[in-house]
Amino acid sequence: MTSMECPHDLDAEYLYPSDADVLAIDESDGSIRITLALPCPDCGAGLSVDARVEDVEEGDFELPLDEERYD
């Protein structure tokens, strides 16, 4: 086992939008796939997280997002 391995399950309770970065957005099997970079809350390992877009609606905000929204 190397130090890069992370055995932890992600828990949304400990994940914050300000910790996430978008690595990639691409299309796969007809749906949009977003790859996020997240730190494991338990060990800090960098995780590549695949997310499928299931729903899109207009948001009540202006882009780019103000960093203060994360506070």
State the minimum distance, in angstroms, from the CB of residue 39 to Zn ion: 9
Contact 61, 70 (CB under 8 A): no
Interface segment toward Zn ion; rule CB under 5 A; list 3-11, 21-29, 31-39, 62-70 = 3-11
Q: Kindly state whether residue 38 participates in binding Zn ion, applying the rule CB under 5 A.
A: no
Evaluate whether 47 touches 35 at the Cβ level (below 8 Å).
no
> Would you mind telling me the total number of residues written for the chain in this entry?
71
- List the helix and strand counts (H, then E) for the chain: 0, 3
| Shortest reach from residue 1's CB to Zn ion, in Å | 12
Residues that bind Zn ion in the complex, under the rule CB under 5 A: 6, 8, 40, 42-43, 45
